[in-house]
């Protein structure tokens, strides 16, 4: 039994978890990310092109004889290394890309495969092999008391670019963004693709946060509305996300977390995200986790948000993910967890970035969090979370009243909270990263 499951559902290409939408639910350059503002991003694209073209160069260039056998040996080793890498990549793609019942081309270039529900990657997990997905129509999860939703509105909601094609996945299938060779080549290694480093503590390792949290009780879920933006990310080692954390255990080897939100990163190379991690069972045929969200908010312009709720179904004990006005996306089986098999001891909301420059150049990254503007700028300028709620032991949805704030690099990214009758408990958060107060 694995000791933790950390998965982000990213939705804004802005991903991906989560979306990882980036996301997290979704992260990437198909959003309105401005690559010119971070030159390192251009270098990343160039490096990829060099890698992609290097194999053809090796095969086509003549062996120079001035260095004799040593040069021939080096060419031979390089050819063998690249051949082996391509074989490993293709073997990995064959494993994670399941047979498609139908294929849909997204306007942003993504390919969405409609995969039979029982063949989705979740069932590669040893604890789930041979099982079948939960049929929501026959046995829906028990939503929290006090939560109101409109099924008709939920069915009509559309917020992802691939759905703009007018096509959809048939009943009995789930839409999965196809992983391509270039996605894996952009990662540091095949084994690192789609994997996110587990947090050993709340800070450190270049991770920086502006978050609101509540702890000290037993938590069975959390809900909020997240303002969706497309923050700039400066290089392939960084990401920017906005999400909900469901946490149990301590920041160490016994940590269990469920994370859902939207995320932006350079190449989807960071996460045990989306459906790349076996374990999250998708039940919805209209939401492609990891695909691009559209539209996103603009400074002093129209604002867009997504509603997210993660809660523990009291009937079967699984942790469910709901999106928007009642869209059941799927669930994490309770059997996958140790601490979260029972309940969470902390819930957290807000933003996180990775600053890869912290130990190298000494200069802070210009990767943005939220809208890229500080919290004090308020509505239409700073990103927000609103209507923060929690689920208690009796499956009641309650307002959060004991919220605490943390901004571990407040000159770079900050956070302020408030409360009113319309938004309930809310906060603004984010920032530009490097600036005169954050050199």
Catalytic residue among 6, 208, 238, 352: 352
Report angle CA 221, 226, 229 to the nearest 5 degrees: 145
Dihedral (C-alpha) 78, 75, 180, 192: value to the nearest 10 degrees?
A: 10
Contacting residues for 106 by C-beta, under 8 A, at least 6 apart = 112, 161, 162, 165, 291, 292
Tokens coding 326: 């009642």
CA–CA distance, 72 with 60 (Å, rounded to integer): 14
DSSP, collapsed to helix, strand or coil, labels residue 339 as helix
Catalytic residue among 6, 214, 238, 259: 259
Is 259 a catalytic site residue? yes
CA–CA distance, 284 with 330 (Å, rounded to integer): 7
What φ, ψ does residue 45 adopt, rounded to 5°? Answer: -60, -40
Tokens coding 316: 């079967």
- Pairing state of beta strands 207-219 and 344-354? antiparallel
Is 214 a catalytic site residue? no
Report angle CA 300, 374, 290 to the nearest 5 degrees: 75
CB 389 within 8 A of CB 224: yes
CA–CA distance, 35 with 239 (Å, rounded to integer): 14
DSSP, collapsed to helix, strand or coil, labels residue 56 as helix
- Closest by CA to 367, choosing from 25, 27, 108, is 27
CB 234 within 8 A of CB 43: no
Please give the DSSP secondary-structure letter assigned to residue 390.
E
CA–CA distance, 106 with 312 (Å, rounded to integer): 33
Q: Which residues are catalytic?
A: 259, 352
């Amino acid at each position: 039994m694995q000791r933790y499951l950390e998965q982000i559902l990213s939705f804004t290409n802005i991903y991906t978890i989560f979306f990882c939408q980036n996301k997290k639910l979704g992260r990437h350059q198909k959003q309105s990310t401005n690559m010119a503002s971070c030159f390192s991003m251009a270098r990343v694209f160039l490096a990829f092109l060099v890698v992609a073209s290097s194999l053809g160069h090796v095969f086509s260039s003549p062996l120079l004889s001035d260095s004799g056998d040593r040069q021939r040996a080096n060419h031979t080793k390089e050819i063998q290394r690249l051949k082996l890498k391509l074989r490993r990549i293709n073997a990995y793609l064959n494993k994670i890309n399941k047979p498609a019942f139908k294929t849909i081309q997204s306007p942003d270039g993504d390919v969405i495969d409609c995969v039979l529900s029982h063949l989705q990657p979740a069932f590669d997990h040893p604890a789930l092999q041979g099982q079948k997905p939960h049929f929501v129509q026959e046995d829906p999860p028990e939503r929290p008391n006090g939560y109101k939703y409109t099924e008709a509105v939920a069915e009509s909601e559309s917020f992802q670019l691939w759905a703009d094609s007018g096509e959809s996945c048939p009943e009995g299938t789930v839409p999965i963004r196809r992983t391509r060779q270039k996605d894996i080549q952009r990662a540091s290694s095949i084994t690192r693709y789609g994997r996110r480093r587990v947090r050993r503590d709340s800070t450190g390792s270049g991770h920086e946060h502006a978050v609101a949290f509540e702890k000290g009780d037993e938590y069975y879920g959390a809900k909020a509305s997240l303002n969706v933006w497309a923050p700039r990310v400066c290089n392939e080692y960084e990401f920017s996300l906005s999400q909900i954390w469901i946490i149990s255990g301590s920041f160490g080897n016994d940590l269990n977390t469920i994370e859902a939100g939207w995320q932006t990163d350079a190449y989807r190379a960071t996460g045990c995200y989306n459906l790349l991690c076996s374990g999250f069972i998708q039940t919805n045929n209209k939401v492609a986790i990891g695909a691009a969200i559209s539209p996103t908010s603009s400074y002093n312009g129209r604002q867009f948000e997504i509603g997210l709720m993660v809660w523990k179904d009291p009937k079967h004990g699984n942790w469910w993910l709901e999106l928007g006005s009642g869209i059941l996306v799927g669930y994490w089986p309770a059997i996958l967890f140790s601490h979260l098999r029972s309940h969470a001891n902390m819930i957290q909301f807000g933003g996180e970035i990775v600053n890869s420059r912290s130990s190298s150049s000494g200069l802070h990254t210009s990767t943005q969090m939220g809208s890229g503007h500080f919290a004090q700028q308020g509505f239409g300028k700073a990103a927000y979370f609103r209507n923060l709620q929690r689920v208690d032991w009796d499956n009641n949805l309650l307002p959060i009243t004991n919220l605490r704030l943390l901004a571990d690099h407040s000159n770079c990214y900050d956070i302020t909270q408030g409360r009113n009758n319309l938004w309930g408990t809310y906060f603004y958060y984010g920032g530009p990263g490097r600036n005169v107060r954050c050199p």
